[in-house]
Amino acid sequence: MKRVLVTGAAGFVGRHAVAALAARGFEVHAVGRTAPPGLHAFHAADLLDPAQRRAAVQAARASHLLHLAWITTPGRYWQAPDNLDWSAASLDLVRRFREAGGGRAVVAGTCAEYDWAEIDRLPRAELESPTPRLRSEGDAAAIRIGQLFESSPCRPATLYGAAKDGLRRILAAYAATADLSLAWGRLFYLYGPGETPGRLVGDAARALLAGEHLATSEGRQRRDFLHVADAGAAFAALLDSGVQGPVNIGSGDAVPVRTILEAIGALTGRPELIDFGARPLGPTEPACIEADIRRLADEVGFFPRTSLEQGLAETVTGWRGALSSSASAP
């Protein structure tokens, strides 16, 4: 019997991970403050409270752990001191899970662990070229600029990235001493129904559907966006595999942010509301961030199912329904 304990199960990714884990035959337990649908068991606990955390881990007696919970408040999570609390709580969570008999764990990492400055060693004008360039033209093993491999150097520019990076380094060493099978799923950019405000796709869809002006950058930077249902399913597949170490969880295909916004403009019927170039691109924003997903595909055997076109259409439809039902509320 495979029994998994999921943290962050009620979150953006967690809800989809719970469904995918159940579909794979896991008995799904969750720990946290809010229970999502579809669980076999829920252990109510504040994960930042040591006694509650340990009691929940003991009660679950799970064989598998999927640890997604973290501070995710948009705008705040990049530099909030809460990142220290989550690193500390995660160290204890994984240790207690192992000592309660667990054998396989997957923890959520982030593309913000990588050295983004490394991406921008070439002039930005070249990097923003709409056609993917090669680092070394004519080289058979050429690498696209901005393509990030699990072996790429990690040098986070934010406290969020550093907290995840430091946690990963410690947990990897712990796993080696404690006979724990551990993988680290590095999330790239996500979108999909249920996004909290402060994220690109949801904010754009909501603004255009509400008839609001949308001030944005030129949008030439390319980003790797994955539908959140695919992210949840990828975590479930990774946990269900024996693959260890870092594994990128992305689409493998970075697209210009402009392309995404233009699609949302077309889907909402309000492309004229988008003012490209009205805001500068942040100075630390790299020209391209793209996951190399060969480990995910070849070793885990997972392939994203939702195309960007399909996913954006579904997301805009979701926001349209949410806005019209709130507008017609008494």
Least distance from its own copies to the Cβ atom of residue 88, Å: 4
* 171 versus 204: smaller Cβ distance to its own copies: 171
Binding positions for its own copies, 69-88, rule CB under 8 A: 79, 81, 83-85, 87-88
Specify burial of residue 218 (Cβ count, 10 A radius: 0-12, 13-18, 19+): middle
Instruction: List the one residue from 2, 3, 174, 259 that touches its own copies (CB under 8 A).
Output: 174
Q: Which residues pair with 223 in a beta bridge?
A: 255, 289
DSSP calls for 5-51: EEESTTSTTHHHHHHHHHHTT-EEEEEESSPPTT-SEEEE--TTSHH
Binding positions for its own copies, 92-151, rule CB under 8 A: 92, 94-95, 99
User: Where does this chain touch its own copies (CB under 8 A) — which range of 67-75, 123-131, 143-151, 173-181?
Assistant: 173-181
Least distance from its own copies to the Cβ atom of residue 199, Å: 22
Residue 215 host element (H or E): strand 214-216
* 23 versus 170: smaller Cβ distance to its own copies: 170
* 169 versus 213: smaller Cβ distance to its own copies: 169
User: Where does this chain touch its own copies (CB under 8 A) — which range of 12-20, 61-69, 176-184, 210-218?
Assistant: 176-184
Least distance from its own copies to the Cβ atom of residue 167, Å: 7
Q: Which residues pair with 108 in a beta bridge?
A: 185
* 112 versus 249: smaller Cβ distance to its own copies: 112
Q: Cα separation of 127 and 118, whole Å?
A: 12
* 85 versus 262: smaller Cβ distance to its own copies: 85
- When asked if residue 170 is in the footprint of its own copies (CB under 8 A), the reply is yes
Three-class secondary structure assignment of 57-79 = HHHHCCCEEEECCCCCCCCCCCC
φ/ψ (deg, to 5) at 181: -85, 120
Least distance from its own copies to the Cβ atom of residue 195, Å: 26
Residue 311 host element (H or E): helix 308-327
- When asked if residue 195 is in the footprint of its own copies (CB under 8 A), the reply is no
Binding positions for its own copies, 14-53, rule CB under 8 A: 50
Q: Is the dihedral of CA 90, 92, 93, 97 positive or negative?
A: positive
The Cβ-side half-sphere exposure at 177, using a 13 Å CA radius, reads 7
Q: Cα separation of 185 and 150, whole Å?
A: 10
Instruction: List the one residue from 35, 71, 143, 178 that touches its own copies (CB under 8 A).
Output: 178
Q: Which residues bind its own copies (CB under 8 A)?
A: 50, 79, 81, 83-85, 87-89, 91-92, 94-95, 99, 156, 158-159, 161-163, 165-170, 172-174, 176-178
